[in-house]
Structure 1
Amino acid sequence: MKLLLENLEFQMLSTQSYGYAPPGSPGKPDTFGNVVTAIARSPLLPGSYQGGNTLAATCRKPEQTADTFGARTRAAHFRHEQRELIDALEQWRGKHPALAPGKSEKLNLDALNGPVLVLSPHPDDEIIGCGGTLISLIERGIEVTILQLTDGGTSIGLRGHSEEEKRTVRFVEARTVADLLGAKELITWPIPGEELSNAPEVVADMEKVLDRIRPEWIFCPFINDPHPDHYVANTLLADALGRRSSGAHPSSILWYQVWSLVPSNVYVPVDAAMEQKFHLLMQYETGMKPVDYIRFCKDLHAYDARQHQCGATFAESFLQVDTPSFLALTAQQVEQA
């Protein structure tokens, strides 16, 4: 019953189990304003109708703003349409009990003083996963460098295009986005999509980027993302960081979401940035041809906001870890692969 009430957007205030009780149907809820007390009885054993447990729950229905119903619908749509992503997250959590769900916190953007590096395996990943957060950071005067790790030329949106167009068109889009965003620098690596590797020369290039920018925060797709380029972005970064002294390490790695959910411990409300985020996504015409990323982000960020119960309509979620934890978790993922 608790799961049912939570899925109906009630906030649980208290529960009380009364143990064994005669069978019966759920009791009629008593309502006092927006506080509801509900009683339900469940069978003691599957298929048993001799008795069961009685659970009383007191819960509150949050007051709704004008957009609450739309956000609730989008969050429910995400739960229904992206069940595989949710299940994959739970499976990952099962392998990493130390990262069991806990209370998430609002990411303190004002505490950041140094530069930010964003690893984007393909042009548009940086906006999908953390575009709203980047907008807020740049508004605060933080220097943001975006590193496009591949040309993204394997996109379905480029089928039938020439090899030259596949190598260049998405970088042209990325330049437009970086300029509109206000990024300090855009770096593009001429590596074909789905061919990213942690070959020695690529690791050396990553080291050069780290040495020059010396980022305080690094944004990277989550290690459990099924896309091979997203996965290799992590092993590539890990190899480069592993060669550096601990004094040169970033204070935080922030794993962001594209094709996998993160076991988030921090979030950023992005209501004020959503319109600009969608405008930036529209510049990625190639990626938007086969996938409506605006709808995807609306659903994802509405889902995230409700998971965090942060009072916002939309939120971007991250798993924030220090460098030693990033290296350890990445090594563990490699071993399990």
Structure 2
Amino acid sequence: MQACRGWLESHPGFEPDEPRRWNVRETAGGSVLVLAPHPDDEIIGCGGTLLRYREAGAVVSVVYLTEGSGAAALADVPVDNRAAVRRREAEKVAEHMGFEEVLFWGRPDGRLACTDDVVERMRALLDHLRPSVIFVPFCTDPHPDHVAANRILVEAIKQRGGPGRPRPLNVLGYEVWGMVPPHVYCPIDTEIGRKLQLLLLYRTGMKAEDYVRYTRDLGAYRAYTLTGRTGFVEVFAHFNEAEYLRVVEPADSAAEHRTTGGP
């Protein structure tokens, strides 16, 4: 919460007025891309909303940016097997979600970096999918991989091209380890049960952290404080393309953090 308040103080034009209900059907006609720095981020932060997109007929794709081997619960698993364990869990979740494209980029957990090769890969993916909605952890999230995901996305957006005019882009920053400015929210009362069941498929992470309780409590708290009712919502910071480039790059000095090549 403190990081979010600090961000709003330094970005006075982005204080949320009255949080708006996000219209899934209005944006379901285009491609939806989810950036998950680790397997389970996508369900924690936006799993219910993604279920609503799938129900609306949207084409949803996900990129797992790191191999997720840094999970605390993997301490008793041989090092060489850790990434495979996390991938199997993510594949099962992706199958249940009905994701169109499921990509595993396998970058080192905890060391995701905005390198030229990763930016180029992201740019090519944006040109291929031409998404109208991109979900990514909010840029003030304290996890370094979540910050790096924003830096990569910013650079890739600046470089994207391809034939035809790109679709109008909506970037939705989701909540994992930090709260976001509540620009928009999506009610997930009918999806919360499935969301929590999907989280349980990430058995490894659940051994160390009770993500089910955390996610359920956050959704209930957000619903009550934003709408004055009981239930569950997911909350997002919402930016169009120009806004996203303006707020993320200066705040995180993306250009200064870029390096050459891979790890």
TM-score of the pair, normalised by structure 2: 0.92
Per the alignment, residue 158 of structure 1 pairs with: 74
Deviation digits for residues 276-322 of structure 1, max 9, x if unmatched?
00110000011111110010011111111112116451100001110
Structure 1 residue ranges (4+ consecutive) displaced by more than 3 angstroms after TM superposition: none
Question: What displacement does 1:204 show?
Answer: 1.0
Q: State whether residues 115 and 214 of structure 1, in contact with CA within 8 Å, keep that contact through their aligned partners in structure 2.
A: yes
Question: What does residue range 286-301 of structure 1 map to in structure 2 within 5 Å?
Answer: 286-301=204-219
User: Which secondary structure does the structure 2 equivalent of 1:226 belong to?
Assistant: coil
Per the alignment, residue 108 of structure 1 pairs with: 23
User: Which secondary structure does the structure 2 equivalent of 1:123 belong to?
Assistant: coil
Question: What CA distance in whole angstroms lies between the structure 1 residues aligned with 2:110 and 2:135?
Answer: 20
Question: What displacement does 1:274 show?
Answer: 0.6
Identify unmatched segments of 5+ residues in structure 2: 258-263
> RMSD of the alignment, in Å?
1.6
Question: What CA distance in whole angstroms lies between the structure 2 residues aligned with 1:240 and 1:269?
Answer: 31
Deviation digits for residues 180-228 of structure 1, max 9, x if unmatched?
1111121111212012111111111111211111111000000000100
User: What amino acid maps onto 2:155 in structure 1?
Assistant: D
Question: What CA distance in whole angstroms lies between the structure 2 residues aligned with 1:100 and 1:211?
Answer: 31
Per the alignment, residue 256 of structure 1 pairs with: 174
Per the alignment, residue 21 of structure 1 pairs with: none
Q: State whether residues 124 and 160 of structure 2, in contact with CA within 8 Å, keep that contact through their aligned partners in structure 1.
A: no
Q: State whether residues 106 and 267 of structure 1, in contact with CA within 8 Å, keep that contact through their aligned partners in structure 2.
A: yes
User: Which secondary structure does the structure 1 equivalent of 2:67 belong to?
Assistant: coil
User: What amino acid maps onto 1:122 in structure 2?
Assistant: H
Q: State whether residues 126 and 160 of structure 2, in contact with CA within 8 Å, keep that contact through their aligned partners in structure 1.
A: no
Deviation digits for residues 166-187 of structure 1, max 9, x if unmatched?
2211111000001011111211
Question: What CA distance in whole angstroms lies between the structure 2 residues aligned with 1:247 and 1:266?
Answer: 26
Which of 13, 34, 49 is the equivalent residue of 1:98? 13
Q: Does 1:186 align with 2:107?
A: no
Per the alignment, residue 116 of structure 2 pairs with: 200
Relative to its length, the structure with more helix (as a share) is 2
Per the alignment, residue 88 of structure 1 pairs with: 3
Q: State whether residues 35 and 149 of structure 2, in contact with CA within 8 Å, keep that contact through their aligned partners in structure 1.
A: yes
Q: Does 1:275 align with 2:190?
A: no
Question: What CA distance in whole angstroms lies between the structure 2 residues aligned with 1:287 and 1:217?
Answer: 27
Question: What displacement does 1:249 show?
Answer: 5.5
Q: State whether residues 222 and 262 of structure 1, in contact with CA within 8 Å, keep that contact through their aligned partners in structure 2.
A: yes
Per the alignment, residue 92 of structure 2 pairs with: 176
Q: State whether residues 172 and 239 of structure 2, in contact with CA within 8 Å, keep that contact through their aligned partners in structure 1.
A: yes
Question: What displacement does 1:87 show?
Answer: 2.3
Question: What CA distance in whole angstroms lies between the structure 2 residues aligned with 1:297 and 1:209?
Answer: 29
Structure showing greater Rg: 1
Q: State whether residues 214 and 250 of structure 1, in contact with CA within 8 Å, keep that contact through their aligned partners in structure 2.
A: no
Identify unmatched segments of 5+ residues in structure 1: 1-85
TM-score of the pair, normalised by structure 1: 0.72
Q: State whether residues 117 and 217 of structure 1, in contact with CA within 8 Å, keep that contact through their aligned partners in structure 2.
A: yes
CA 1:253–1:310: 2 relative to 1, 3 Å: farther
Question: What CA distance in whole angstroms lies between the structure 1 residues aligned with 2:59 and 2:80?
Answer: 32
Per the alignment, residue 261 of structure 2 pairs with: none
Q: State whether residues 123 and 157 of structure 2, in contact with CA within 8 Å, keep that contact through their aligned partners in structure 1.
A: yes
User: What amino acid maps onto 2:5 in structure 1?
Assistant: E
Q: State whether residues 183 and 238 of structure 2, in contact with CA within 8 Å, keep that contact through their aligned partners in structure 1.
A: yes
User: Which secondary structure does the structure 2 equivalent of 1:190 belong to?
Assistant: strand
User: What amino acid maps onto 2:30 in structure 1?
Assistant: G
Q: State whether residues 269 and 312 of structure 1, in contact with CA within 8 Å, keep that contact through their aligned partners in structure 2.
A: no
Question: What CA distance in whole angstroms lies between the structure 1 residues aligned with 2:53 and 2:175?
Answer: 18
CA 1:326–1:335: 2 relative to 1, 3 Å: same
